[in-house]
Structure 1
C-alpha cells in the first residue's frame, strides 16, 4: 500500500520528529465511494491546502529575509563604494593638482636651465678674465726655490737683488736689478729640518724679468747660491699651474726622446722637430699620441734589417 499525498504532507509539516511516528498508510479504495472515502478525500484536500498555506508562508518569510539581507548587504557595499568613490575623487583632484604643479615645475626648471647655462657661460668668461688679470699681475714676478730660510735679513729686496746679480753674473746683468718687492711665500714658516719656503720677487721692469727667466731656463740645473742648488721659475696663478702640470709626464718623455719641448703661456706645448720647425700640440692627448708615434718610429729604426 502506498502513502497518500495527505500523509506525505503531514510528514513534511510535522518535520523530522514527526517522521519517527508511524502513520498507518491509507489504502486507496477502488470500490465505489462511501462515507469513509469521502472523509479521506476531505482530509487529503485539507492537508494539501494546509501544506500549500505553510509553504506559501515559508516562501514569503524566506523572501522577506532574503530581501532584507540583500538590502543590508547593498547598503553596506553602497557605503563602501561611497567611501571608495570619495577617495577616488580626492585622488583625482590631487593628481590633477600634482600634474599642474609638475607642468609648472617643468617650465620653471626649463627656464632655470636656460638661466643656469647663461650664468655658467658668463662665469666661464669671468673666470678666464680673472685668470688673465691674475696672470698679468704676476707677469713681472719670479719664484726662487731652494734658498735657506732667514738668509735675507731685514732688507729682503736689497738682498735678493744682489743675490740675482751674483748668481747670474755681470755678463747677464750689468748691475743688481731694480726690484719692487721680494718676500717669502705666505706658507707657515717651517722648522729647522723643514723644506724652506720659496721666494717671490717682483721686478720693476718686465724686460729684466724676461732676461732672468731666459737665462735661468738656459742654465737649468746649474744654478746655486753658496752651495745650495736653486731653481728660478716664472710665477703663475694656480689655474695656469694646473694646466701646465698636465704636460709634465709628456715633456719628460720628450726630453728622453731627445726633443726640446717648450711650454708657452698659459699651457701651449711646442716641439722642435728635426728640420728646425716647431710643432704645436694643442692638448695633452695630442702630445701623448705624438710621443707614442715617436716611440714606435724609434723602435722600428732600431730593428735589424732582414736579408
Structure 2
C-alpha cells in the first residue's frame, strides 16, 4: 500500500510537470500575440490622440475661416452696393430712348440729332431750345438685322434739371417720332434694373386696381391708398400690403 501511494504521488507530480510544461508551451505564442496586440493598441491610441489633436486644430481653423468668410461676404456685399451706387450716380444725368429707328442720324452728329429730336418730340413745353447734351450714342453692340428692334440711344444731359423735365414729360405723354412710339427711361445699372424689376408683378396688380404708385430710386415702391402713403423696400412687403389691404377687402 505504501508503495502504491508513493507511485501515485510520483505520477501526480509527473503529470503536474507535464501539464505545466504544456501550458507554458501554449502560452508562449499567445503571450507573443498579446504583446503584439498591446503594441498595436498603443500605436492606435497614439495615432488617435494625434488625430483628435489635429481635428481640434482643424475645427478651430475652420471656425476662424468661416468667421473670416462671413466678414468678407458682408464686406463684398457692401462694396458691391457702393460700386452699384457709384455707377448709378454717374448715370444720374442719363436717359435711355428706345425705338428710335436705326440710321435716323443720317450721318450727322448723334448729339446734334438727339438734341433736335427731343426738341421736336417734346417741344417748347419742355425745352425753350434744343437741350445741351454732353454725350449721345447707340448702346454698344452690333447693328441689328432688318426687322429687329433698333439699339437704344443713351443720352447724357449737360443739365440734370433738363433730364428730369424730359422724364416727367415722358411719364405723362406719348412720345412719337417718325411713326415710332418712343420709350424713355432713366439709364440705370443692370443690377439696379433687376432689383426694380422684382416689383413688376405687384405694380401690375396695383395698376389693375387703379391704385397710384411710384417706383422710387433706387428700388422702393411708394403706394397711395385711402389718403395714406406707404413705402416698401421689398416686393414681398408690397405684395403683403396688397393682399391684406386691397385684395382682401374686395
State the TM bucket, normalised to the shorter chain.
0.7 to 0.9
Whole-angstrom CA distance in 1 between matches of 2:216 and 2:163: 16
Whole-angstrom CA distance in 1 between matches of 2:111 and 2:191: 28
Task: Work out whether 1:190 is the aligned partner of 2:144.
Answer: yes
* Aligned match of 1:199: 153
Which residue among 172, 175, 193 is the counterpart of 2:129?
Answer: 175
For residue 239 of structure 1, report the CA deviation from its aligned partner.
2.0
Which residue among 132, 140, 149 is the counterpart of 2:93?
Answer: 140
Whole-angstrom CA distance in 2 between matches of 1:128 and 1:235: 17
1:280-302 Cα distance to aligned partner (Å, 9 max, x none): 223222211222131221x2xxx
1:210-263 Cα distance to aligned partner (Å, 9 max, x none): 1111111112xx222111122000011122112111111101110100111101
Which residue among 114, 117, 127 is the counterpart of 1:163?
Answer: 117
| Cα separation, partners in 2 of 1:73 and 1:256, compared to 1, 3 Å | same
Higher strand share: 2
| Cα separation, partners in 2 of 1:181 and 1:98, compared to 1, 3 Å | same
| Structure 2 gap ranges (5+) | none
Which residue among 96, 99, 103 is the counterpart of 1:150?
Answer: 103
1:110-165 Cα distance to aligned partner (Å, 9 max, x none): 33333333323322322222121111101011111122223224422211111111
* Aligned match of 1:77: 30
**RMSD (Å) for aligned C-alpha atoms:** 2.5
Task: Work out whether 1:261 is the aligned partner of 2:213.
Answer: yes
Whole-angstrom CA distance in 2 between matches of 1:225 and 1:123: 44
| Cα separation, partners in 2 of 1:282 and 1:53, compared to 1, 3 Å | same
| Cα separation, partners in 2 of 1:73 and 1:176, compared to 1, 3 Å | farther
Whole-angstrom CA distance in 1 between matches of 2:19 and 2:104: 113
Whole-angstrom CA distance in 2 between matches of 1:148 and 1:64: 118
Whole-angstrom CA distance in 2 between matches of 1:215 and 1:118: 45
* Aligned match of 2:183: 231
Q: Find the structure with the greater CA-based Rg.
A: 1
Q: Out of 164-173 and 252-261, give the one that drifted further.
A: 164-173
For residue 56 of structure 1, report the CA deviation from its aligned partner.
5.5
For residue 63 of structure 1, report the CA deviation from its aligned partner.
4.9
Higher relative contact order (CA 8 A, sep 6+): 2
Superposition TM-score, scaled by structure 1 size = 0.72
| Cα separation, partners in 2 of 1:80 and 1:148, compared to 1, 3 Å | farther
| Structure 1 gap ranges (5+) | 1-44, 300-307
